[in-house]
Amino acid sequence: MTDTLAAPTANTGGARFVGQRVQRREDLRLVTGHGRYTDDVVVPGMLHAAFLRSDIARGVINSIDVSAARQLDGVVAVFTGADFNAEIREHWVDFEGPGGDASPFRVLADTDVRFAGDPIAVVIATSRYIAEDACELIEVDIEPSTPVIGADAALAADAPVVHAGRADNIAGAIPAAADPVLDEIFANAAHVITETIDQNRYLCVPMETRGIVSQWDPFNQELTVHISTQGPHGVRAYIGRALGIPENRIRVIMKDVGGGFGQKMFMIPDEVAVVLAGKRLGRPVKWIEDRRENLMSGLHARDDRMTVSFAVDDTFHILGVKCDLIEDVGSFNAAGSSSIGFVGLLFPGPYKIPRVGFSAKAVFTNTCGRCSYRGPWMMETAAREQMMDIAARRLGIDPLEFRRINVITSAELPYTTAAGLVYDAVSIDGSLEQAVSMVGYEAFRAEQAAARAQGRFIGLGLGLYVEPSGIAMGNMSSEAAIVSISVNGDVTAVMSSGSHGQSLETTVAQVVADRLGVDFERVTVVQGDTAATPFGPGTGGSRSAVILNGAASQASGDVRTKMLEIAAHVLEAATDDLELEAGNISVRGTPSKGISVTEVARIAYLRPQELPPGMSLGLESHARYTPNAPFTFSNSCHACVVEVDAVTGGVKVLRFIVSEDCGVMINPDVVEGQIAGGVVQGIGGVLYEEMAYDMSGNPMNTTFVDYLLPTATEVPIIEYGHIETRSSTNPGGFKGMGEGGAIGSPPAVINAVADASPTSSTGRSSSRCRRRTSAPPSTLLADPAE
């Protein structure tokens, strides 16, 4: 593959660390058991919280009797919605901004319950054991009624409303716009192919559940919150508005966080209840969500249905598409969790689709609310890539051939999609061809035919997509860095991020070290504490490589420039003649004439008389960075090979290949780690994981015995192909790729299973793959359609 990287220049720093498999500096504490997760935080006088939750999906609360619970030894307080709900002054997160159509919210269920898991009361006690005991002593009388379960029920003409006071169960909608041009395309197309694609509800499942320790200090009028989150600043701003506490009296700290995947982007009502309880009592309170709570009420994801129509001409070019999406967002969905806008915007993805018609509804149901799980809009890829296979089979051509005919090629760049998005630095056809080459597509077809002759069913599926990384809109538009070189020449990068597994302590240090020409070991990264760090929206949306490192580059660049100016003055040379490498600044061609970074730092702080005239003291810069485009597009192609047991329906993933172009790779280990984690979440979502509800609204998968995550025995070795097309949106040429693994893998797996199905070998019919809710794990049924 052509290397499209530009060489680093003297002004931007070298590439001694960027691009290297630098080993993570987070690991020393984490592999030895010395990380600091929220449950590891212990504060003197700390109390413990436990929640009583509704086991009924929908009903009116007739009464709540907490008297017996309050009398239990060790119980300090029991609070209900009547105690807390009126305390909330404003309920909106930075992502939404004020005045928007905020999601329904209350701290605790008061008049009614709206999903099984809805928190009704919180017990505060001297131990978690006692708090849980006391929950069992609370008497709640609920008059149940028929819950709204599933999108069809939500949209039924006589459907009860999930949220009292709303006219219907519509959480958001994009109506179908009249488009006579598209209608004309469909009317005259040689082929029109329509299919409905379902996606089951599956969840983020971070290994660390939620947790919070809230300390209100009435004597300093200060709130300190340790929380398992994806970003401390959003938590601080939200609490400030909700409780009427000035932001500068709130300190939010996140140390190590055991994964988030979108679930921990925003606070949930339970966490707000803990803050309120602690403030009311003037005591520190800890709540550690248990796994059942995390699965039942910690926010859900996916659960979509999309009907897609392709209009195709007689040379198999896609002329237009129509899509209609229905999302089930549950009851109390998180801000931004409905992705209907993004799905329509991104649907054309990697293909030349001249015209797109899109309509959508997001609906409330009496189930746990939705959050923005890794690639929240990925239904566009899940549905489109399945449709590519379905359409190809109905057209009688190979799915690869259909993709090759329609893919956007590098020769066609810059390419503007039907929705107006511009791709300039992508390699979509390159990643398709790299994945196809790595998997050995032609040889596989021969192997598949031979296997079928022996009664074995193997299949190959592709998933091709363009990922809108580094999303820079609204509160997500920027990240910030404060980079300084201190008196002894050590570098500190204080970052706006909220790392929860992304290796940012390592990768940011790589970027800063290169920009400053110092050793990696001299750079320390600080993050996750509102008392020390500048505002950031939280780590998510594949933003850190692009936006956070943009900030790191910008601040480091300022410091670098100043260092060179000081050195030039001291060395009596022009800055353009200086080289900065390995902690030393020297005059090019005269290596003996130089000065160390440490010496420059000492001048900057301790010997102002040696500075150039008029220069301010110090070596530090605070930069807030926004990329020069709202999206930084990366691209990828997944290729999955499976074998389906014709008797049991069991699926074994034999190979999984990912060709990825995330621009300049900062650390290939981190890139591959992110890809692998996302891919396996996608494999899990298709083959093993499902959060199902029965018709009474009971969640059926609230333990790890019922909600099955993939283990080491189910996943193949993932094979990576890298293409590095430098991005134009940011100084490092980076692109985000944190979500892509979870976007491309589900359709690749489903397409592989469908491809293994004997019905597809006839060339006559299409086949599609549907998950059967009642099926045993790892079982998919390939239905002949039509």
Cα–Cα distance for residue pair 747/386, rounded to 1 Å: 6
Nearest residue (CB) to another protein, 369 versus 741: 741
Site for another protein in 720-779 (CB under 8 A): 720, 741
The answer to whether residue 677 forms part of the interface with another protein (CB under 8 A) is yes
- Residue whose token pair is 């909700």: 242
Closest separation in Å from C-beta 292 to another protein:
8
- Residue whose token pair is 């987070």: 26
Closest separation in Å from C-beta 365 to another protein:
26
Cα–Cα distance for residue pair 76/49, rounded to 1 Å: 10
Pairing of strands 302-312, 191-201: antiparallel
Site for another protein in 274-293 (CB under 8 A): 288, 290-291
Q: Put residue 454 in one of left, alpha, beta given phi > 0 → left and psi -120 to 50 → alpha.
A: alpha
Site map 23..42 versus another protein, x via CB under 8 A: xx-xxx-xxxxxxxx-xx-x
The answer to whether residue 222 forms part of the interface with another protein (CB under 8 A) is no
Query: Which pairs count as long-range contacts for 88-91, CB under 8 Å and 24+ apart, including other chains?
Result: 88/242, 88/243, 88/272, 89/241, 89/242, 89/243, 89/244, 90/241, 90/242, 91/241, 91/242
Amino acid at 576: D
Closest separation in Å from C-beta 75 to another protein:
10
User: Nearest to residue 464, comparing CAs of 378, 395, 393?
Assistant: 378
Q: Which stretch binds another protein (CB under 8 A): 179-187, 251-259, 299-307, 471-479?
A: 251-259
User: Nearest to residue 551, comparing CAs of 582, 578, 527?
Assistant: 527
Helix runs in 711-785, H state only: 740-756
> How far apart, in Å, are the Cα atoms of 561 and each of 556, 576, 582, 583?
9, 11, 16, 14
Token representation of residue 250: 């709130």
Task: Name the E strands within 470-589.
Answer: 479-485, 491-495, 523-526, 578-581, 584-587
Beta bridge partners, 156, equal none
Q: Which stretch binds another protein (CB under 8 A): 116-124, 383-391, 627-635, 673-681?
A: 673-681
Q: Which stretch binds another protein (CB under 8 A): 18-26, 90-98, 136-144, 557-565?
A: 18-26
Cα–Cα distance for residue pair 410/164, rounded to 1 Å: 52
Nearest residue (CB) to another protein, 330 versus 721: 721
Token representation of residue 479: 């990240």
The answer to whether residue 127 forms part of the interface with another protein (CB under 8 A) is yes
Nearest residue (CB) to another protein, 256 versus 429: 256
The answer to whether residue 19 forms part of the interface with another protein (CB under 8 A) is no
Q: Which stretch binds another protein (CB under 8 A): 51-59, 85-93, 533-541, 675-683?
A: 675-683
- Binds another protein (CB under 8 A): choice among 718, 743, 752, 753: 718
Site map 680..699 versus another protein, x via CB under 8 A: xx------------------
Cα–Cα distance for residue pair 139/71, rounded to 1 Å: 13
Beta bridge partners, 75, equal 125
Nearest residue (CB) to another protein, 286 versus 394: 286
The answer to whether residue 711 forms part of the interface with another protein (CB under 8 A) is yes
Site for another protein in 597-626 (CB under 8 A): none
- Binds another protein (CB under 8 A): choice among 74, 354, 440, 758: 74
The answer to whether residue 501 forms part of the interface with another protein (CB under 8 A) is yes
Nearest residue (CB) to another protein, 420 versus 776: 776
The answer to whether residue 71 forms part of the interface with another protein (CB under 8 A) is no
Q: Which stretch binds another protein (CB under 8 A): 157-165, 178-186, 199-207, 647-655?
A: 199-207
Token representation of residue 55: 């086991």
- Applying CB under 8 A, what is the total number of residues that bind another protein? 66
The answer to whether residue 443 forms part of the interface with another protein (CB under 8 A) is no
| Binding interface with another protein (CB under 8 A) | 21, 23-24, 26-28, 30-37, 39-40, 42, 72-74, 126-127, 129-130, 133, 205-209, 256-259, 261, 288, 290-291, 500-503, 669-670, 672-674, 676-681, 703-705, 709, 711-713, 715, 717-720, 741
